[in-house]
Each structure stands twice: as C-alpha cells, then as structure tokens.
C-alpha cells in the first residue's frame, strides 16, 4: 500500500504469524496525520474512529510486538497502537507549527502518547495472572525528518547509499550487560538474555527513548519486530532494501526471508521510501 496522499514517501506494511506461534501478537499501522489522523493500513483489532481534516500533514508508522507468552499480548499491542493514534489525533494542533521553537513540544507530545498507551495497557492487566505488555517502535515523518520513539526490542533502521544504520538500541537485559561490560556483543547475541526485555509498554518498567533523523531522497526507512531480525541479518536487510523494487516487494521479500530462516516468531515490517 503506497501512500498516495503523502508526497514525501511511499510506504507499505505487512505482518505474518510465522511458522510456530498459534497467534499473531504483532501489530503495525501506517496513518496520515493531518488536522486529525487518517488510518491507511494496519492489522489492528480495533480501529479508532477519528474524523479527518486537512491542514498539517505527517506520516505515522509504528510496529508493536505483544510480549510472547503473556496473556493478552495481541490485545496489548493493538491497544497501544490504537491509543497512540487516538492521542496524536487529539493533540494534532501542536503539530501545525513545525519550527525550532515548537519542536520540543512536538517531541513531548510523542512521548506523552506512549505514556498514554502504557497506562491503557496497564489498565487491561487487572485480574490477569501475567500482565500483558508490548514493544513499541514508531516514527512520525514530517517532510523528510523522522521523529522516532522506541520501547523494547523492535527496531528502526534506514538505508542510505548502500549503508544500513540501526537507529534504536534493544532495551534488553543482554544489552544492559554489554553496556556494563559484563558481556561482549558476541556473548550477548548467544545469551538467553537477548529477548528479556527491561522496558516494555505495560511492563513494570517503561522508559521510551526518543530521537530524530533527517532523511534524504531515496533513503529506505524500516520498522520491524524481532520476528524479522531473529532470522534475517542486517547485511541481508540492506541487500533487500538496496534492490530496485517497490516497498511492497521489499516487505514481502523480507517476510519470506524470515519464514525461510525458521519463522519462529510473529513478523511485522513497515518500509518507507523517501521521495522528497
């Protein structure tokens, strides 16, 4: 699905249950944020009812991976995504003036949307034996500037002139041990701590990281759950994004690569090509 209503990028998203799991707990969404927000493509369980209206325009992309094994993982990822879209639509007036003075407040609203999602997911955990939680990685593209908010171990990355750059750092026990010098990167990659989250939406700890990147025409921007990165190397991701294909073809190829590699987890992928 290319965004015919957004002049700065074309984008496509895809999700797959994989070959092992009985339920798909991954959710993704691609939406146009104007005066409010227009949902364009998603696999959400509940679609928020939000009126459309022109004025400011941005492209919202997000991936949420419900924590595997926890009751309500799919519900958590869908609730987080829907809450964020509803919040950003209601707060869209703060996006209508994107100058240097307004940028701090803009980033603050993005972070607040994640805290709103966290509160919503926590509210669903009452009377559950194992509280639901989800990762969340999202980007709001305003012209060619991407504002990124990240919780958990889904990832954001982009390809420029053949070089892949990863924008997010996994919020896992393994990465904390690497930071503390207790493990090398190679040891961490083989450790069971690799998928033990230390921060998650709805979890006991939730610490969003924020950043921004100025993208250039022909950059390829990718959001994905770890169902992709468990089975597909960064070199292979770079090779696929470097092909002269449509963003839909790229998403399908990456999904197929993850399935061919084992498909042990749900998969969610969003790819955008920057046009201007």
Pick from 118, 113, 163, 159: nearest CA to 138: 113
Greater confidence (106 vs 231) lies with: 231
Length of the chain (residues): 276
Q: Indicate if the pLDDT at residue 140 is higher than 60.
A: yes
pLDDT in tens, 2-22: 454 577 899 999 999 999 999
Q: Indicate if the pLDDT at residue 80 is higher than 90.
A: yes
Q: Indicate if the pLDDT at residue 129 is higher than 90.
A: no
Provide the b/e sequence for 91-116 (b: ≥16 CB within 10 Å): bbeebeeeeeeeeeebbebbeebbeb
Q: Indicate if the pLDDT at residue 37 is higher than 90.
A: no
Pick from 269, 225, 219: nearest CA to 248: 269
Going along the chain from its start, the domains and CATH numbers come out as 9-270 (3.60.40.10)
Q: Indicate if the pLDDT at residue 98 is higher than 60.
A: no
Q: How much is the CA Rg of the chain, to the nearest whole Å? A: 18
Phi and psi angles of residue 153, each rounded to the nearest 5 degrees, phi first: -125, 20
pTM, 2 dp: 0.89
């Amino acid at each position: 699905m290319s965004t015919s209503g957004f002049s700065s990028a074309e984008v496509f998203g895809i999700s797959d249950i994989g070959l092992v799991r009985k339920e798909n707990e991954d959710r993704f969404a691609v939406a146009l944020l104007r005066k409010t927000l227009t949902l364009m493509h998603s696999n959400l369980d509940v679609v928020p009812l939000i009126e459309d209206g022109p004025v400011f325009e941005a492209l919202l992309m997000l991936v949420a991976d419900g924590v595997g094994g926890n009751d309500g993982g799919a519900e958590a990822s869908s609730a987080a995504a829907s809450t964020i879209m509803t919040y950003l639509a209601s707060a869209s007036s703060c996006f209508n003036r994107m100058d240097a003075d307004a940028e701090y407040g803009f980033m603050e609203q993005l972070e607040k949307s994640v805290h709103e999602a966290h509160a919503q997911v926590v509210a669903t955990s009452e009377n559950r034996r194992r509280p639901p939680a989800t990762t969340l990685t999202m980007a709001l593209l305003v012209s060619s500037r991407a504002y990124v908010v990240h919780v958990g171990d889904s990832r954001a990355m982009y390809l420029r002139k053949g070089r892949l750059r990863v924008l997010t750092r996994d919020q896992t026990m393994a990465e904390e041990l690497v930071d503390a010098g207790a493990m090398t990167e190679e040891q961490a990659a083989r450790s069971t701590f690799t998928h033990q989250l230390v921060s998650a939406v709805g979890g006991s700890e939730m610490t969003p990281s924020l950043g921004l990147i100025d993208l250039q025409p022909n950059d390829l921007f990718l959001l994905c759950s770890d169902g992709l990165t468990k089975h597909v190397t960064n070199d292979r991701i770079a090779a696929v994004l470097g092909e002269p294909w449509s963003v839909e073809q790229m998403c399908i190829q990456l999904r197929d690569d993850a399935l061919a590699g084992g498909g042990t987890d749900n998969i969610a992928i969003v790819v955008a090509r920057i046009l201007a």
